[in-house]
Amino acid sequence: MAGIFINSDAWNFWETTPDMMTVDGLRKDVDFYAAHGGVEAVFYNLNFQRALFDSKVFTPIWKDCSFDAEGHLLLRGKPTDDSYARLVRNPQVLLENVPNFMQVRYEACHERGVEMWHSMRMNDVHYTPMQTEHLPQHGDLWVQRKDLIRAWYRHTQRGDWRDNGFDYAQPEVYDYHLAMVREYLLDYESDGLELDWLRAIPVFRPGHDERNTEILTRFIRDTRSIADEAAAKWGHRIRLAVRVPYLFTEAVATGMDVCTWAGEGLVDIVIPSPNNTCTENDIHLHLWKRLLPASVILAPCIDCNMSAAPGGPSLRMTAETDHGFAATYYHGGADTIYFYNHFPTTRFDGMQELFGYAGDRAAVERRARRHVVTRHDDIAEGSYSGSRFPRIIWRKSSNGSIRVDAGGATAGRRAHVIVGARSPLDVDLLLNTVPCTPAPDEPLPPLNTENMHYVQFRVPDGALHDGINAIELFNRSEEREITDLAWAEIRMDAQG
């Protein structure tokens, strides 16, 4: 059984109550993740554009912040968003109570048999449309140097946040972030550093991603050199992880030569991940497995949401959906699983127990699970999200299939297919060419029911198989075409 990895982001810990800003609070936070074992490392995020500690490189979160007589938050003397008040106060409270809090956290993790890593967001651009760029999470360099931004000329009220990230081809940007790497690794003891490129890419100006591939490779080499220096200082190994796009082709398209990073021994863990927070079912993980050296740990990311179609219904994570994604990833070649946005503040029933067995492929596979069809969230310049469903199913007709990866250990499982649309459905359904039986009276799992209509079918024994399965719909209606499919999944009961 492999140990899993968990990312703990800035908002998770720092927006808790002030009583958590103590030694006991730090230990309690570690205990949440380690309660049932199975966790190899927690990656603690301590920055977005600003740092949640007294950084000498990034702007500390509290810089230029104050509170008026009524307790409202001010930034540079002007009112700003009060929702940041706790995020501004708590890091200062923790530093007052526990000046060496990172060392305390490191020791608390090791007492529980868990590694403590730093997680560095490499280009965070949360909340950067017009009229939000002066929130107290934006660093001084970003505020003052718009000439370093990758596509500031696109800046609009509804523009893509990613337009507003830094351009790593600019030497000042490169050096600024490498200095933060050095601060993390050499000033604060840890077991490793995660470079979280998904917060956010692209990191080059439009049209310059692939031609600047060598710049990111040089950055990874420089980071590895600093990690080796840190290992000598602290007297133990320092590993590196990279969070990269789910799809290998999109990593290449955004300037990430991950095969070179891995082939040169620069990185130890590769974490294919979604652009935002929507976990994906069909990520061609086998390509990563074939292309990476066996020594590199492949740990795909399970995030907190899922959505099947642009503008369609979304669903929050549950134990059953996490089981489904994990089973799919193990079948595709994953060595272990990485969890993002799985926090004490966003917990679901069974989350802590899940951490204990998620690294055990067989334990995951035998549990009840849901394999949800998901849309791909575009990342690279010039790529756009699309639907996983037929654009139209004509009257009294079928029109292609819906692809869903059901992972492994499907033999002998009792299973159902659920399909949803904005309008009522009158359909026959086949799985892998085998007709399925309508099951209107059987209970549905938790679903987003707003403006949605669902139908459920029982899968005949032997129709479901490991890996990719094809759902086909035959439109029985003589009056209406189907143009609004927005959900599909295969749901399996627990084994035995």
Provide, rounded to the nearest whole percent, the portion of the chain with pLDDT above 70.
100
CA distance 261 to 222: 11
The one-letter amino acid at 461: D
Helix (H, G, I), strand (E, B) or coil at 215: helix
CA distance 313 to 451: 9
Instruction: Please give the average per-residue pLDDT across 94-108, as a whole number.
Output: 98
Please tell me whether the peptide bond between 108 and the residue prior to it is cis, using omega within 30 degrees of 0: no
How do residues 163-212 score in pLDDT, each as one tens digit?
Answer: 999 999 999 999 999 999 999 999 999 999 999 999 999 999 999 999 99
CA distance 146 to 283: 35
CA distance 79 to 89: 16
How do residues 7-65 score in pLDDT, each as one tens digit?
Answer: 999 889 999 999 999 999 999 999 999 999 999 999 999 999 999 999 999 999 999 99
How do residues 301-326 score in pLDDT, each as one tens digit?
Answer: 999 999 998 888 999 999 999 999 99
User: What are all long-range contacts of 81-85, with beta carbons under 8 Å and residues at least 24 apart?
Assistant: 81/135, 81/136, 84/135, 84/136, 84/137
CA distance 484 to 69: 53
The one-letter amino acid at 104: V
Question: Residue 490 gets which letter from DSSP?
Answer: E
Q: How far is CA 348 from CA 216, 320, 389, in A?
A: 37, 11, 29
Contact 36, 1 (CB under 8 A): no
Question: Domains (ranges, CATH) in the chain?
Answer: 4-273 (3.20.20), 398-492 (2.60.120.260)
CA distance 342 to 488: 24
CA distance 68 to 109: 38
How do residues 358-386 score in pLDDT, each as one tens digit?
Answer: 999 999 999 999 999 999 998 999 988 88
Contact 168, 217 (CB under 8 A): no
- Chain center to CA of 65: 30
